[in-house]
Structure 1
Amino acid sequence: MNPTRRTVLIAGATAALLPSLPASATPHPKAAALQPYASYWYPDSLPSGTPGTGITWRSLKSWRPADDADLAFNAATVPLAPRFTPTPANTTARAGQARIQSLVSFGPTASNPSQGSATADYYALTHWAYIDELVFWGGSSGEGLILAPNAPIVDAAHRHGVPVLGNIFLPPVAYGGQLQWTRDLVQKDAVGRYPLAERLVAVAEAYGFDGWFVNAETSGGNAALGADMLGFMRELKTRAKAKGQRVTWYDSMTVNGSVSWQGALNSQNEAFFQAADSMFVDFRWTAAKLTSSGQRADQLGRGRYELWAGVDVEANGWNSSVNWDAIVPRDKAHVVSVGFYRPEWTRNHLPADGRGPGEFHVADDRFWTGRSLDPSRPDGADSWRSPAVSVADRSTVASVPFASVFNTGHGLRWYEDGEVTSDAPWNHLGLQDRLPSRRWVVHTDGQRPAVTFDFEDAWRGGSSVLVDGDLDTPAVVDVYATRLPLTGDTVVELTHRTEAGNVTVELAVATAEPSAPGATPPYTYFPVDSGSTWQTSTVRLTGLTGTAHAIGVRLTATDGPVTWRLGGIAVRDAPETPAAPTALRITGASDGDLRFAWSPAPGAVRHHTLHRLLPDGTRRFLGGTCQRAFFVGGLGPEQGEQEARFELRAVGELYTTSAPATVTHPW
């Protein structure tokens, strides 16, 4: 890797690394004491001087969960879902070889809201099906070095079976790094244990994420410090493994304590690789270095795919020049795995006035799926070898009940039953559905329609699936790869509407895998009523038994072109309605800035929604969360009311809602 790219990397990893949130995401000053933010720390000692505006300096060594006033807002609640690998969508994607790690900066280190914010301009990652590990990238010498991921990101990732790691960043000296912080991290107690290793594992357990990415880039160390770092890593891995967590090492510090990026697995970093679950190989790799690294990992009995070859896409995204054959060759086994550095370029490269959620998802689909925007039809002339070309997608849709309203985790407004209940833009990844893993596979002998997430209308949440095209021949859209057990009571519900043209709609269900990679699943088709308004069609799967391996829709135009919208899908044996939450209360108030807390009812609850009930009977959506606490800012009296009235409901897996719990707040 040349010095220019290294400079970009280091600069991006310090104070300048994080995209600033739009002004609408920043709370007004009086909310500062109540607005919860994602947590960040220094290992022990703090910088000299005074922190900047909006920054709080904290010591991880002093952290205790009982003293963490924001823990309820920051603790993820969705367990890590198991995944399966369906038959690949094309003939080039492989299972069991290269994996993908993604290092993503979702927001600034400081003042990064815990539970979303009032803007749709957000990196709403949805292509989880190709990712094996997400790193919550960030940290800076002036704010904090150890970052715990936001709960919404962890909840969304876990729903799709992806573990999330917090980040430990010890910056280069040129960018404010102090060797004392490295010494703080690896300090030992009187009996030779590493107290910060224990504290890191305790943080991940309390916050509900899956371990740590360790990036030690502060130079000036010696062999003694290298030995202490190695001892720290070994204890961290041992403690992490006992809690079901994992540790990834970044190829930076060497065993002699110096910082020297190797771009390979070799004698200088092998001990650290052995003390971790995987290693991110710095961008200095070459084809020869990766070949030797893979061989060395195999010889160690570790496996070559535990090495992530760094691919820097921060500056150029899919225009980056990458020697793909050195990592994921087409004509032989993959060499190592892929480590994407900053793929949120798909959002950041868009102009500020063209960064709506629709534009973002078009760009993000291009990055993960390729120029064809259909993983079953890779574009062989595309110089960007997208993940869908090389890596088989995975799915977590394996149990009933299952439902999705195709919510991507951000939107321009909020819909309930097709009606707008809030016209404010928003983001909250914890509300994201389990989304289709292969977007978008269309089987047709004619012209392929465009298939996208659309934000101009929705049944629930902020988005729906829009199919638009001439449909000169029938088109089958693969919606979900599944492993859903079928009984005599199983039904599928489709919520949909036809906006233009006339179209015959059929539900497609396959009870076996396709005959070969890239082939159409062996679907059975069931007629579905269609119309110009939102409607929910309930389809009984007469004649089908066993397991549903794929669910899709077949659209046949009778008078085109056609614009058709899918707003929801549910697979169930019987209706289920969650019980109402209890003990709803306001735990903090400053004028119109309020903290809410409650006790979830027993049973399966997907998330909770909070509404305000206005004097004229209007129910206004204020937000939703998977946590047991929520913050709302900037409220005030309306329509002459003397007190504000709030309703909290539990939302089940089938999007049925409970009776409300209520609370009032006097003005």
Structure 2
Amino acid sequence: MRRAIAAVAAALLASASVPARGAPLALTIDELMRWTPGGATADPGNVARVPVARRFHAAPLNRRVRTDPEVRVLYAPDGMDMLGGKRTATPRFNGYVFTHWAQIDLFAWFAGTATRGVQLPSRGWVEAAHRNGVPVIGTVFFAPVAWGGSPGTVASFLRRDARGRFPAAAQLVRIARHYGFDGWFVNAETGGADGAAMIDFMAELRAVAPPAMTIHWYDALLPDGRVVWQNALTPANARFLQDGTRRTADAMFLNYDWTRAGLVESAALARRLGRSRYDLFIGADLWPARDAQPAFRKGDWLAALRERPGGRALGSIALFAPHFGYSFPGDARTPRFSDFDRDDRDVARFYDAERRLFAGDTRDPARPAPTGWPGVASLAPTSGVVPSLPFRTSFTTGHGRIDTRDGRVVGGPWHDMARQDVQPTWQFATLGRRRMTVAYDFATAFSGGSSLRFVPDGPGGTATVPLYALRLGGRVTVTAVSRGGAGYALRIGSGVARPLTASADWRTTRWCARTTAGETHVSVVARPAARQPLNLGQVSIEPGCNI
């Protein structure tokens, strides 16, 4: 569709202005074919060392919320080479970050230009995602002819060797293994390319990739070489997902102009092919300047993904351009959500836009909005983490106004996603009649760039703020570092909430707790005596009782 071409055009124009420095994170086809781990286009500093954490589906905080446990969510900010392409720490607070890992299942490094179409995720983002249990896939992009794409470029990529194999397939797998990311998103939008050869390539890529590596295809190119967005799984594009007995992709990203009837037919066709409906990632173009599923301006599309109210979904979800809260410039229909990309003082509105996307208009995943935008988490499940002990979080999100170590300020503004901690599972829910305002505090940090600040919304009873869903099991030692008013406690699982010492300075509270093998919540409890704010600077959990 023309909208899809326009979206790609914006990414092309933005990306083309950035020259490669040193070993590039974006390769030409020729560089892909000649790439070796020790070659000039390889970067040893971009190798991710953090494995993907194990996860599980957390129980809903509100039993009235009917999520579909089989739905998966792909998150694809447009132009990650610009948003996240820094390979080292930078002295800038207002760079792009993401924290709602518990609400997504896959992060796509969506980017590409007409000349550099093989896009490699940066180490910091891969390590942050893996720490939170989310795989990351790179992108292979072939641009529309109108924007510099060429069938010749695709042909060079689809070149076969003397045995009839595709060297590009083995190279893509080699690169992903070397850098430690988790697969590829293939987006071919070049009209006139050899679609039949591309199907063979996709089948080989899926066959040579390890089972844990995921391969996605975008709904654009057809077997006859035309680019016609189907906005559904149809007989015209089905071979790019399943070609007879050949699995050509693990999933297909459907373009954005879908209809409910088309999705119903897509789910039925997937079943006939022996595939799951959840292998179809239904595209949602959230960029507010476009008209498909603009953020918060059209909210009924999420409900349209269900078979019936409260029922199963017709597929998984692909969130495209969800970074609108960071860099959408505003227009006559939708004002800017934040100025954070150009004004580091506007950080609260930046975080609010992402929180609203997942939790809905209430900003509380335990209290869905009866009308308006319900939030992605009202349909898709939320995942907890099975941590390797010791588990420690200082609630660092990947940037800070200050840099701290053990309560001491050691530096100024910074941005480095490799330093991001495991993020709270729920951002942020309040259980009980009393309301609490919870947010990241970038003015006060114990270790890293931020802490969590809890502010009671007036006097009242008891409030519980669940932060993490973990699986632990056995006796553990818990350490909490906090500062602020009296009346707060930290609870691990179903045990007794341990009071946190009231103090104007950072104070450490340490105790032993017994946890079960099932889901364990780490929660802050605000008693009726809690009147002043609390900052929680760090929580650590070690195996055994070490007091």
Match of residue 374 from structure 1: 364
| TM-score, scaled relative to structure 2 | 0.90
Q: Count residues with an aligned counterpart.
A: 522
- Say whether the 8 Å CA contact 1:85–1:95 is kept in structure 2: no
CA–CA distance in 1 between the matches of 2:467 and 2:178? 35
AA of the residue aligned to 1:432 = Q
Match of residue 221 from structure 2: 253
Alignment of 1:541-556 (within 5 A): 541=513, 549-556=520-527
Q: Following TM superposition, by how much is the alpha carbon of 1:93 offset from its aligned partner in structure 2, in angstroms? A: 4.3
Match of residue 392 from structure 1: 381
Structure 1 residue 433 corresponds to structure 2 residue 421: yes
AA of the residue aligned to 2:417 = L
Match of residue 149 from structure 1: 121
CA–CA distance in 1 between the matches of 2:516 and 2:250? 41
- Say whether the 8 Å CA contact 2:232–2:254 is kept in structure 1: yes
SS of residue matched to 2:529: strand
AA of the residue aligned to 1:391 = A
Structure 1 residue 465 corresponds to structure 2 residue 443: no
- Say whether the 8 Å CA contact 2:279–2:315 is kept in structure 1: yes
Match of residue 168 from structure 1: 140
SS of residue matched to 1:213: strand
Match of residue 14 from structure 1: 12
- Say whether the 8 Å CA contact 2:199–2:223 is kept in structure 1: yes
SS of residue matched to 2:431: strand
Match of residue 28 from structure 2: 42
SS of residue matched to 1:323: helix
Structure 1 residue 227 corresponds to structure 2 residue 196: yes
CA–CA distance in 2 between the matches of 1:206 and 1:116? 22
- Say whether the 8 Å CA contact 1:505–1:528 is kept in structure 2: yes
CA–CA distance in 2 between the matches of 1:401 and 1:110? 32
Q: Following TM superposition, by how much is the alpha carbon of 1:206 offset from its aligned partner in structure 2, in angstroms? A: 0.5
- Say whether the 8 Å CA contact 2:466–2:524 is kept in structure 1: yes
Aligned-residue CA RMSD (Å): 2.4
Match of residue 335 from structure 2: none
Q: Following TM superposition, by how much is the alpha carbon of 1:6 offset from its aligned partner in structure 2, in angstroms? A: 3.5
CA–CA distance in 2 between the matches of 1:178 and 1:73? 32
Structure 1 residue 444 corresponds to structure 2 residue 407: no
| TM-score, scaled relative to structure 1 | 0.74
Match of residue 579 from structure 1: none
Q: Residue 135 and residue 181 in structure 1: after superposition, are their counterparts in 2 closer, same or farther (change >3 A)?
A: same
- Say whether the 8 Å CA contact 1:166–1:211 is kept in structure 2: yes
Aligned counterpart in structure 2 of residue 104 of structure 1, from 55, 77, 89: 77
Structure 1 residue 364 corresponds to structure 2 residue 364: no
CA–CA distance in 1 between the matches of 2:278 and 2:347? 34
Match of residue 333 from structure 2: none
Aligned counterpart in structure 2 of residue 480 of structure 1, from 456, 464, 468: 468
Larger radius of gyration: 1
Q: Residue 344 and residue 410 in structure 1: after superposition, are their counterparts in 2 closer, same or farther (change >3 A)?
A: same
Alignment of 1:273-284 (within 5 A): 273-274=241-242, 275-284=248-257
Give the unaligned 5+ runs of structure 2: 243-247, 329-337
Alignment of 1:653-664 (within 5 A): none
| CA deviation vs aligned residue, 1:214-272 (integer Å, no higher than 9, x gap) | 00001123xxx222111111111111135x31110000111112111111101111110
| CA deviation vs aligned residue, 1:349-397 (integer Å, no higher than 9, x gap) | 3222366443321221111211211100011112x23111111210114
- Say whether the 8 Å CA contact 1:508–1:554 is kept in structure 2: yes
- Say whether the 8 Å CA contact 1:138–1:167 is kept in structure 2: yes
CA–CA distance in 1 between the matches of 2:139 and 2:512? 48
Aligned counterpart in structure 1 of residue 188 of structure 2, from 216, 241, 247: 216
Aligned counterpart in structure 2 of residue 266 of structure 1, from 234, 242, 250: 234
- Say whether the 8 Å CA contact 2:482–2:501 is kept in structure 1: no
Give the unaligned 5+ runs of structure 1: 27-31, 45-58, 512-522, 577-667
Match of residue 52 from structure 1: none
- Say whether the 8 Å CA contact 1:120–1:356 is kept in structure 2: no
CA–CA distance in 2 between the matches of 1:296 and 1:355? 50
Q: Residue 495 and residue 110 in structure 1: after superposition, are their counterparts in 2 closer, same or farther (change >3 A)?
A: closer
SS of residue matched to 1:241: coil
Percentage of matched positions with identical amino acids: 31
Aligned counterpart in structure 2 of residue 319 of structure 1, from 281, 296, 299: 296
Q: Residue 241 and residue 432 in structure 1: after superposition, are their counterparts in 2 closer, same or farther (change >3 A)?
A: same
Q: Residue 111 and residue 388 in structure 1: after superposition, are their counterparts in 2 closer, same or farther (change >3 A)?
A: closer
> Once structures 1 and 2 are overlaid, which stretch shifts more, 300-309 or 62-71?
62-71
- Say whether the 8 Å CA contact 2:80–2:109 is kept in structure 1: no
Structure 1 residue 64 corresponds to structure 2 residue 36: yes
| CA deviation vs aligned residue, 1:589-634 (integer Å, no higher than 9, x gap) | xxxxxxxxxxxxxxxxxxxxxxxxxxxxxxxxxxxxxxxxxxxxxx
SS of residue matched to 1:200: helix
